[in-house]
Amino acid sequence: MKKEYLAKYEKGGFVIQISTDDYMDNKFILSSLGGIWTTSLDGETKTTKLPFEAIVYINKKTNLHFSFEDFVVEALNQKSPEIRFVRKPFPHQVDALNYLYRWSSAPLLLSMGTGKTKIVLDLFKARKKSHQVNKLLVICPISCIQVWEDEAKQEKLTSINLRGKSSHEIDTFLEGDWDVYILNYDLLKRFFNIIKQKNGKESFFLRMPDYLRKNFMLVYDESTKIKDHKSKRTKYALKLAESIRFKNILTGTLIGNTLEDVWSQISVVSKVFYNNYTKLHSWWSWLNYFFYTNKYTHKSKPKSIIKEDYINYATTVKAFTFTIDELHLPPKIYNKRYVELSKEQQKHYMKVKNDLYTELEEGTLTVANVAIKLNKLEQITSGLLYLYDDSGNRKTHFFKNNPKLDELVDVLGELDKNKKYIIWHAFIEEGVMIQKKLESVGYKNVIFLRKGADFNQKEFNSYKGQLIVIANTRMIGYGNTLKGVEHVFYYSNDWSYLNREQSEARTQRIGIQNSCNYIDLIARINNKPIIDEYILSVIKHKRDLDNIVREYGLKRVLDVV
């Protein structure tokens, strides 16, 4: 029988062939489309498997070009079956639905606030209508569980929160009649039987793989939470994804601090790295030799450029992308309010900083502990300092004079007292301190969200009148839509660009009519920048503290804080 090829290209010992029977489940589900690349150099033949992303990359980035058969092009342009929309979608949501339906697995890379949840629920309905799946499994941060429950209810879908269920209960519920099953990332392990071996290592086995494969569509919401390749969470996430054919990742911040952050996310929905982290590194030399040695391209490129170029490209070849700027929402407004540290704060700040210089000279200050040390400086600018006794017990010292806290009260006093406000902070004791201060000066409805606290998004959005919510960005900074908030305060920031970007997006979303003012409270000494502004600079440039320390050195970091 003659072998059929979707595409084939031959030139001087170089062959790309894409086989119909080997790389397609059917003409309309193209996620497994791929090819074999064979090269013959100096008498040695090298064969490499190519995923669809790599083939598209070759077409675009080199002088090697080939085209697909007409029916493949038609399959890539098919539309989703018509479904009844409970809520009228925006045009970009319809486009996303039609696009994602063509691929059994693909990233949905929409800016925060552009309606990713509705797109996925409509996509699930389309797949269910086509008898591809009958259930949807959503893995998301804890703060997003209620969002999915509310959205599912609005779409006339039944849902169940698996968070409080045991492994046995989860198995039972999965065989139930709900449309949407929701679980947080930390409990992914409950889908597995985990066996501890004598050497201390663990092996794990997915329960009910055949049942999951036949029935479920899988979604990882805020997929940046999957983490790096070494974590157990990533191993569980990839193993679960391997057993489910229809799957998507959702995020507005795919590439956060480092390019390697995307490996685990893309491995969920693509064979571009074949779920093998070593491929992420081996591809650079491979691409450098075949793509950029002047043999197949016009000029060579350094490996560092190839690395960034390929990762960025591979992550977006099959993705549907849409930015919040395309919605033409009211613009974000940024303001900084500067304060001068009190004499007592300045004294402690300079002592801690000088101690850091001493540790640096003695060689005891390392990249591994520098973030913890720098946090002391930020604590001081916020009006507190963690102190430890000889037994390691911690107590919190609060400075008598706290200009940053006073400035927060003053700014709130300038604003409408019948509005809703969000105050983000980095340290728990900051929340305690802010709540106590605001209540002491007459604010009635002040809510401090501690770790594990419940937050009712629906009640918040429908509330009329004065309401101040104090929270860490990791608490409700993901997934929630916070309506009616026109002023957001950052009492302090952590070092994470993702946490900052996600928290800003809570008040910059579809359906929000007014601009939002983001106010950073910035401490200085003698009107000169210190730690607060340095953290903002790191966030602005999407950098990671460890990378900056490695690139510029510990001394340079200390010089600017």
Domain spans of the chain?
Answer: 5-75, 81-327, 332-560
Q: What is the pLDDT of residue 19?
A: 54
Q: Does residue 274 come out as left (phi exceeding 0), alpha (psi in the -120 to 50 range) or beta?
A: left
Q: What is the pLDDT of residue 289?
A: 63
DSSP state of 29: B
Q: What is the pLDDT of residue 86?
A: 94
Terminal C-alpha separation, the chain? 71
Query: Residue 259 corresponds to which tokens in the numbers above?
Result: 């390019």
The whole-angstrom separation of Cα 142 and Cα 183 is 8
Q: What is the pLDDT of residue 561?
A: 87
Q: What is the pLDDT of residue 66?
A: 59
What is the pTM assigned to this prediction? 0.70
Query: Residue 35 corresponds to which tokens in the numbers above?
Result: 């090819």
Q: What is the pLDDT of residue 119?
A: 96
| CATH, domain range 332-560 | 3.40.50.300
Q: What is the pLDDT of residue 329?
A: 76
- Residue 322 three-state SS: strand
Which residues of the chain fall below pLDDT 50? 1-3, 12, 20-30
Among the listed residues 116, 57, 80, 97, the one whose alpha carbon sits nearest the alpha carbon of residue 317: 57
User: For the range 271-279, what are the long-range contacts, defined as Cβ-Cβ under 8 Å and sequence gap of 24 or more?
Assistant: 271/32, 271/34, 271/49, 271/51, 271/52, 272/51, 272/53, 272/54, 272/314, 273/314, 274/49, 274/51, 275/238, 275/242, 277/229
- Distances from the Cα of 175 to the Cαs of 130, 181, 288, in angstroms? 20, 11, 49
Q: What is the pLDDT of residue 26?
A: 42
Paired with 205 in beta bridges are 193
- Distances from the Cα of 61 to the Cαs of 35, 207, 298, 308, 429, in angstroms? 17, 43, 10, 14, 52
Maximum distance among all alpha carbons in the chain?
87
Q: What is the pLDDT of residue 75?
A: 66
What CATH superfamily classification does 81-327 receive? Tandem AAA-ATPase domain (3.40.50.10810)
Q: Which residues contact 61 (CB under 8 A, 6 or more apart)?
A: 291, 297, 309, 313
369 and 360 Cβ atoms separated by less than 8 Å: no
Q: What is the pLDDT of residue 31?
A: 52
Q: Which residues contact 207 (CB under 8 A, 6 or more apart)?
A: 167, 171, 191, 192, 193
307 and 287 Cβ atoms separated by less than 8 Å: no
Q: What is the pLDDT of residue 198?
A: 77
- Residue 320 three-state SS: strand
Q: What is the pLDDT of residue 3?
A: 47
Q: Which residues contact 343 (CB under 8 A, 6 or more apart)?
A: none
Amino acid identity for residue 432 in this structure: V
Q: What is the pLDDT of residue 33?
A: 58
